[in-house]
Amino acid sequence: MEYVLSPSILSADFAVLGNEIQKTESEGAKYLHFDVMDGVFVPSISFGMPVLKSVRKVTGQVLDVHLMITEPIRYVEEFVKSGADIITIHYEACKDVRATLAKIRELGVKTGISICPETPETVLEEFIGEVDMFLVMTVHPGFGGQKLIPETLDKVRRLRNMLEEKGTETDIQVDGGVHLGNVREILDAGANVLVAGSAVFKGDAAANTREFMESLRSYE
């Protein structure tokens, strides 16, 4: 299984965004996490397509777009045109999850489904084999800098077991409250794609990414 770091630019300094992103790329972060918030599905508003277009120009990282928006089906085409490589939608935000995933797939990019802390992992069972990634939120979506909710790692553990029982190695991403001190516990639970916002971009993004990468490599 490949262990991947996906730095979330939500916590970056947008005045120097390009430079900050490139630091994470040159230190080995394969993905870049792009949090889109609409002020409806989550209480806050972040950024959207124009920013993604600019980000696409400055990095070759896999652009991992996390849509925290109501009825994301309305916007997936524009996000793909703007440079997304993976689009993750929220189970709770779609009237028709399957149609939303089908549309993303038709556009030729990878698909992900995310669940909030209060949503049981069992809702994902029917999508096993159909999606490229499951995102188990480890905080309530909407803001960076929160503390990881420990019970969410039990969901990761149960989801990894479900995947193993079905003989598939689908990626499990975790997002929220990830820092160097809990990486091992998170990987032990069965996640393999780690989103980290404040733990990467607060302070020295190059040094922070390097430490995350060392910790992921030493786990392999």
Q: Is 204 a catalytic residue?
A: no
| CB closer to Zn ion, 35 vs 121 | 35
Residue 186: CA atoms inside 13 Å, Cβ hemisphere, count?
Answer: 30
Question: What x-and-dash track marks residues 104-143 binding ligand DX5 by CB under 6 A?
Answer: -----------------------------------x-xxx
Among 27, 38, 171, 175, binds Zn ion (CB under 5 A): 175
Q: Give the count of alpha carbons within 13 A of 75, CB side only.
A: 23
Span near Zn ion by CB under 5 A; candidates 40-48, 93-101, 105-113, 172-180 = 172-180
Min. distance of Cβ 28 from ligand DX5 in angstroms? 18
Look up residue 187 and give its DSSP letter: H
The SS3 of residue 145 is coil
Separation CA 182–CA 148 (nearest Å): 9
Q: Which among 22-30, 55-63, 118-126, 191-199 is the span making contact with ligand DX5, rule CB under 6 A?
A: 191-199
The helix-helix angle for 17-26 and 205-219 (nearest 10°) equals: 30
In the structure encoding, which two tokens stand for residue 40, read together?
């409806």
Does 196 bind ligand DX5 (CB under 6 A)? Our answer is yes
Q: Which residue is nearest to Zn ion (CB)?
A: 66
Q: What are phi and psi of 68, to 5 degrees?
A: -95, 65
38 tagged catalytic: no
Cβ closest to Zn ion, residue 20 vs residue 35: 35
| CB contact at 8 A, 163 and 125 | no
- Given candidates 27, 32, 66, 212, which one binds Zn ion under the rule CB under 5 A? 66
Residue 85, both tokens = 């490589």
Q: Which is nearer to ligand DX5, 160 or 212 (CB)?
A: 212
Active site residues: 35, 175
